[in-house]
Structure 1
Amino acid sequence: MVFEDKMLTYGDPADEVRKNTDPLDAIRAKCEETEHCVHYKERLELCEARVNSRSNTTEECTEELFDFLHARDHCVAHKLFNNVK
């Protein structure tokens, strides 16, 4: 057990970075670039710009945020489990 710990500690730093990165982050980034997700992301950004341009508003971008997250997570769901060991 101690030998394995030393191997992990003294291994290549690049290997540690690869081991510590979450594949979910990379898949989410790729999915956000798909045509379907880009559409929802643009709608969210337009809503955020509209809300931030007003000083007194009760409008929120909750619906647009949920639409974007749903589209992104739908894309992620089909790709994530290919990377799980």
Structure 2
Amino acid sequence: MVFEEKMIMNGEPEDEEEEEEEEEEEDMVDPIEVVREKCEATDHCVHTRERLEQCQNRVGSRSSTEEDCTEELFDFLHARDHCVSHKLFHSVK
């Protein structure tokens, strides 16, 4: 009984190992997110993002409009994904 109480108060070694594994998992970064951020900083992606933001501002300033920014969004995503497709597998081990 005393041994069990000490185990509960001190924690089992397995609990400590599980906590360490959880901490390691939190530090992991998805490589695609890193590459996406780098690609969004390229000239072509910056230009397409600016066009998207201009469209969003224009549509948001109107009370009723049929315009949406689907084309601009797809242009931006296409530019970013095109850049990512060339760089992603170089960073994956």
Do Structure 1 and Structure 2 share a fold, with TM-score over 0.5? yes
How far off its partner does 1:28 sit? 0.5
Partner of 2:62: 54
Report whether the alignment pairs 1:16 with 2:55: no
- Which protein is richer in helix relative to its size? 2
Report whether the alignment pairs 1:72 with 2:43: no
Q: TM-score of the superposition, structure 1-length normalised? A: 0.80
Q: TM-score of the superposition, structure 2-length normalised? A: 0.74
Larger Rg: 2
User: RMSD of the alignment, in Å?
Assistant: 1.9
| CA-to-aligned-CA distance 1:23-81 (integer Å, 9 cap, x gap) | 11111011000001000000000000000000000100000000000000000001111
**Unpaired segments ≥5 residues, structure 2:** 1-15
> Which whole-Å CA distance do the structure 1 matches of 2:42 and 2:35 have between them?
11
Count of matched residue positions in the alignment of Structure 1 and Structure 2: 78
Percent identity between the two aligned chains: 59
Give the residue type in structure 2 aligned to 1:17.
Answer: E
**Unpaired segments ≥5 residues, structure 1:** 1-5
Partner of 2:34: 26
